[in-house]
Amino acid sequence: MARQPVVCYRRHLNGESSNSVELVGRQAINLETVPSARMPMKLLLNVNVEGSFGPIPVVIHAEETVEGLVKAVIEIYVKEKRRPLLAKSDHRLFELHYSTFSLDSLKMEEKLMNLGNSRKFYLCRKKVVAAITCKKEAETIAESGFFMSKLLFLL
């Protein structure tokens, strides 16, 4: 007895449909009607970590968020024992950029499929400005009277 082929239609990124033949045992199954047979789209991304040599390749679901990508990269970085070693492996201490020259970081809640065609990213530590030190500096300037003398000079 000959096997019967299954014809399923899969959508490509450009919107065209293509026919593909699948054989599952001796039974013909339409893969579009079986939800468990659909495979979610995955992306291969390369992430450079600040100070590290070479990118970290990560295969991740397209529906994942930037925060999930940062977690995965840090997990791989620590697992591979890359240099320089991270003092803390908390994903909230890092931010993801399109490149080393990009000043704006990506939003942590943004989905990876919405980031466009870029597949290379740069991971670095967040630049934390301590509010306490700024407050102390403002208080010392106010106490010294230097600020008032500058204002009087301008008048």
Does domain 42-125 fall under CATH 2.120.10.30? My reply is: no
**Assigned token pair, 132:** 């306490």
Across the range 78-84, mean pLDDT stands at 93
pTM for the full predicted model: 0.60
* Residue 116, φ and ψ in degrees, nearest 5: 90, -155
Among 30-44, 70-84, 141-155, which stretch is predicted with the lowest mean pLDDT? 141-155
Given a cut of 90, whether residue 119 has pLDDT beyond it is yes
* Annotated domain spans of the chain: 6-37, 42-125
> Is the confidence at residue 15, as pLDDT, over 50?
no
Q: Which of 69, 74, 67 is nearest to 90 (CA)?
A: 74
The predicted model gives 91-110 an average pLDDT of: 94
Q: Please tell me the predicted confidence (pLDDT) of residue 73.
A: 96
Q: How confident is the model at residue 5 (pLDDT cuts 50, 70, 90)?
A: very low
Region 143-152: mean pLDDT is: 59
Residue-wise pLDDT for 16-63, tens only, equals 444 443 444 445 555 555 555 556 789 999 999 999 999 999 999 999
User: Residue 25: its pLDDT value, please?
Assistant: 47
Residue pair 48/55 in contact (Cβ under 8 Å)? The answer is yes
Listed residue (72, 69, 73) closest to 55, CA to CA: 73
Q: Which of 109 and 117 is assigned the larger pLDDT?
A: 109
- The answer to whether residues 154 and 124 touch, using CB atoms and an 8 Å cutoff, is no
Buried b / exposed e over 116-126, threshold 16 CB at 10 Å, is: eeeeebbbeee
